Amino acid sequence: MNPPNSAILCKCQIYHRLDDEKLTQVITALKDAGVRLRITEDLCHDAVHHPEKFRDANVFIGCHHRTLQALCDFAGKSDQATVFDVNHDVEKLLDTLTATPSDHQDAYSEDTVCRDWIAWYPVIDNNRCVDCGKCADFCMFGVYAFEEKKVKVVKPSGCKTDCPACARMCPANAIIFPKSTEANINGALELVVKPDAKQNESLRARLQARKASARLFKEDVK
Ligand code: SF4
Ligand code: SF4
């Protein structure tokens, strides 16, 4: 495991998905160990608006492992990142610090995020995605693009806040909504949960209805 050299810690200040006591414990330990530390209010927001911040960090501390990894991929981080879940990995993180004291004294910064947009959007677990394109076909708001047989999240701001519908129909359980409270959607589960057939049927029916009404609307405005 890489020793923390330069870490980014997310406080999840908008949806409060992290344990405050554990956050304080980890921040104090990282500062005491002299790790170069950048604290952010919302890493989901940074992945869209400040992907450059991901480049220099080698450790990411926030919510779930798969989620943090998918956010790094989305932000275009090409080198290896080590991820820690604040709610479950405090001991492991503290052990790493004790084993590898650092000398970046006072290298500490805290960023606030602009709150004019709630960073609710999907990221993709590339270890699971089979590039079937169903999410791009399902979403009516242009959040996904399916180009050259690869699917990508291209318009996160188009996503409807608190709606994780596309995650429910993904056959590979590869779509993660970091801020969801559902473990099979927010990246907490390491197990693949296949979509429920009945639920999928009703989602498909709703999609067809939405597509039909969108077609009617287009014809009306001609
Ligand atoms: S969902 Fe995870 S990555 Fe996003 S703001 Fe909350 S802790 Fe940070
Ligand atoms: S529906 Fe799931 S598996 Fe298919 S392209 Fe989208 S994310 Fe990948």
Cβ < 6 A, ligand 1 pocket? 10, 12, 15, 17-18, 42-44, 62-63, 67, 71, 178-179
- Listed residue (68, 9, 18, 63) closest to 38, CA to CA: 9
The verdict on the CB of residue 27 being under 6 Å from ligand 2 is no
What is the residue type of 65?
Answer: H
The verdict on the CB of residue 133 being under 6 Å from ligand 2 is yes
Q: Round to whole Å and give the CA distance between 208 and 129.
A: 24
The rounded mean pLDDT for the chain is 89
| Interior angle at CA 23, CA 53 and CA 17, nearest 5 | 80
Q: Is 188 exposed, middle or buried (0-12, 13-18, 19+ CB in 10 A)?
A: buried
pLDDT tens, residue by residue, 94-144:
998 876 656 655 578 888 888 889 999 999 999 999 999 999 999 999 999
CB 128 within 8 A of CB 67: no
Ligand 2 centroid to residue 111 C-alpha, Å: 33
- Return per-residue pLDDT of the chain as tens, 222 residues: 555 678 999 999 999 999 999 999 999 999 888 889 999 999 999 999 999 999 989 999 999 999 999 999 999 998 989 999 999 999 999 998 876 656 655 578 888 888 889 999 999 999 999 999 999 999 999 999 999 999 999 999 999 999 999 999 999 999 999 999 999 999 999 989 888 777 777 776 776 676 666 655 555 544
Q: Round to whole Å and give the CA distance between 145 and 148.
A: 10
Residue 3 burial (CB count, 10 A) = 15
